[in-house]
Amino acid sequence: MGLQTEGIIFMALAWGVIGSVISFCYYKILTTHQNMKVHAESPVNKQKEKQQ
Amino acid sequence: MSNNSTEREQWGSRIGLILAVAGNAVGLGNFLRFPVQAAQNGGGAFMIPYFIFFLVLGIPLMWIEWGIGRHGGKFNHGSAPGMFDVIWKNNLAKYVGALGLFISLIIMIYYTYIESWTLGYSFFSITKKYFGLGDFTAMKIFLYSYQGREVSPYFNDISWAYVFMVITFAINFWILYRGISKGIEKLAKVAMPLLFLFAIIIAIRVATLGTPDPTHPENSVSAGFGFIWNPDFAALSDPKIWLAAAGQIFFTLSVGMGTIHAYASYLKPKDDIALSGLTTAATNEFAEVVLGGSIAIPIAVAFFGVAVTTQMALGGAFDLGFASMPLVFERIPYGEVFGFLWFLLLFFAGITSSVAMGQPVVAFLEDEFGMDRKKAVGSLAILVFISVQFVIFFLKFGFLDEMDYWAGTFGLVVFALIETILFMWVFGADKAWAEMNEGGDIKIPGVFRFVMKYITPLVLLIVMLWWLVNDAIPILLLKNAVTENIPYIWGARIFMVLICALILFMVKQAWKRKEA
């Protein structure tokens, strides 16, 4: 039995919900004030880098 | 207690942290367990309880664990004993938190070995070692002889498995040794995009297979998607379906094992956790529902039909991943390349989870004993390397299964229930809510406060009691155990008790050391 209309609806709904949530999340992350390099200048990370 | 979180390592970037936590959540289960669960439990209708439990169990536990972790990090605690000691002012708290170390350590011991199979199979795919085996039985013999369960013309002993275990082990501990920013985060930034790329490539290949054998038009990719997604609403009246959905949500997000806490402890006090927690959960769901549901089952149905695929799936996720998938790869053009990508993506899914399982113990040794990272990782490596020998050599006697049940299944729900009660009831819902929303880039909807306080612990309690009655007690009493395996099962139990005793002793020593 192939993919039926109900199956397509459920698949589309599940994919749609997940797609919407993940798009919202990554959009917010890429556009909010906490930018992508929050901790890059952490003194601890720099110190550990030197040690290594 | 001092609040000097600046002395600890920190994540290099926010996206790195999110990918690392998502990597912890995305594991073999996303690609092997989910499609089997969906197909066996009502198809599309399974998604109804699945999404309900995602909302009342998965997302709340994510936020709770991020909250406990970041809060513990403010007090220089990167593992559950210290975190519980902060949120529950009781001498017992640190010992209860030891469960978070026990679970992640036990799972790491056997998971690293399972992960090494995927690396081995990616090598066997590109070198076409299993090509030409022809049927499911031969492929299972290939798998079992690789694992050392039996001898076959393909493998005389477990030397291949051992070599790949050593390689996997070395990579894991090298990454852990490199640290949070330069090790775990860099791994996540490379492995996660590659994992998604490989999965998308394979999913597109699957979607374009159509009907591989025109003489069997009923076996098609469409039938495979139908097997997963066509809803059987009658199944929803069966409570087992709801428990299966709750269990799947629980396993897929890797909650209840102390790993998310450890990662979140390296955040700054005002860093967002509300959006980051939601994003990691959503990333995991994309890997599971969209990609995981589009590969193994559809391709198996397209080649072998629904009835045979059902039989394969009943054999467990490993049979589906390691026996039926290779059968497909040897039947399609460039199958060696697709096989290589499939097992490598599973390896990436595995390693991003296993390093997360090592981090709580490393953090415990660093934070509570003042060890440097080299010593902490070295100590853990020695313990895991010795322990994994039992898993490798006693695999066929159920040693791994026993560890997986008590630590990797039942232990998770017990720990999750304890942490939810401690955070939302003992620490207090007001303080917990404020902690989770502190610095948030989104405001957690108010309804979740009610859900986290009442619904999540209630659901966890029901799941725990159900598993206790239906699985835990019969397993404890060895109801269905093979007589030959019983000494090894007891061996696994004694081994776990010893590990637990060692952790409790170390927790006691750590606090004694601090008081002195």
The pLDDT confidence band at residue A36, using thresholds 50, 70 and 90, is: very low
Of B42, B40, B31, nearest in space to B230 by CA: B42
d(CA B18, CA B192): 10
Is the per-residue pLDDT at A46 higher than 70? no
CA atoms within 13 A on the CB side of B192: 25
Of B120, B123, B101, nearest in space to B112 by CA: B120
Query: Which residue among A3, A22, A36 sits closest to B225, beta carbon to beta carbon?
Result: A3
Inter-chain CB proximity A11 and B44 less than 8 Å: yes
Instruction: Delimit the domains of chain A by residue range.
Output: 5-51
DSSP single-letter state for residue B444: P
* pLDDT digit string, tens, across residues B54-94: 999 999 999 999 999 999 999 999 999 999 999 999 999 99
* pLDDT digit string, tens, across residues B383-407: 999 999 999 999 999 999 999 999 9
Interface residues of chain A, partner chain B, Cβ below 8 Å:
1-4, 6-11, 13-15, 17-19, 21-22, 25-26, 28-29, 32-40, 42-45, 48-49, 52
Q: Which residues of chain A are within 8 Å of residue B283 when distances are taken between CB atoms?
A: 22, 25
- Dmax over CA atoms of chain B, in Å, equals 78
In this prediction, residue B179 carries a pLDDT of 96
* pLDDT digit string, tens, across residues B178-189: 999 999 999 999
Kindly state the percentage of chain B with pLDDT values over 70: 99
d(CA B434, CA B287): 31
What are the CA-CA distances from residue B427 to residues B87, B298, B423 (Å)? 5, 47, 5
Instruction: Delimit the domains of chain B by residue range.
Output: 5-476
DSSP single-letter state for residue B395: G
In this prediction, residue B36 carries a pLDDT of 87
**Residue B187 CB partners (closer than 8 Å, separation 6+):** B20, B23, B175, B351, B352, B355
Inter-chain CB proximity B290 and A32 less than 8 Å: no
Tokens 């640190």 label which residue?
B94
Query: Which residue among B275, B278, B289 sits closest to A14, beta carbon to beta carbon?
Result: B289
Q: In CATH, which of 1.20.1740, 3.40.50, 1.10.600, 1.10.10 is domain B5-476? A: 1.20.1740
What is the ipTM for the molecules in this complex? 0.88
> What rounded mean pLDDT belongs to chain B?
94
Please check whether residue B125 is in contact with residue B40, taking contact to mean a CB–CB distance below 8 angstroms: no
User: Please, which residues 146-185 of chain B have a Cβ atom closer than 8 Å to chain A?
Assistant: 178-179, 181-182
Distance from CA of B97 to the nearest CA of A (A): 27
* pLDDT digit string, tens, across residues B126-172: 999 999 998 999 999 999 999 999 999 999 899 999 999 999 999 99
**Residue B52 CB partners (closer than 8 Å, separation 6+):** B245
Please check whether residue B256 is in contact with residue B107, taking contact to mean a CB–CB distance below 8 angstroms: no
Please check whether residue B351 is in contact with residue B114, taking contact to mean a CB–CB distance below 8 angstroms: no
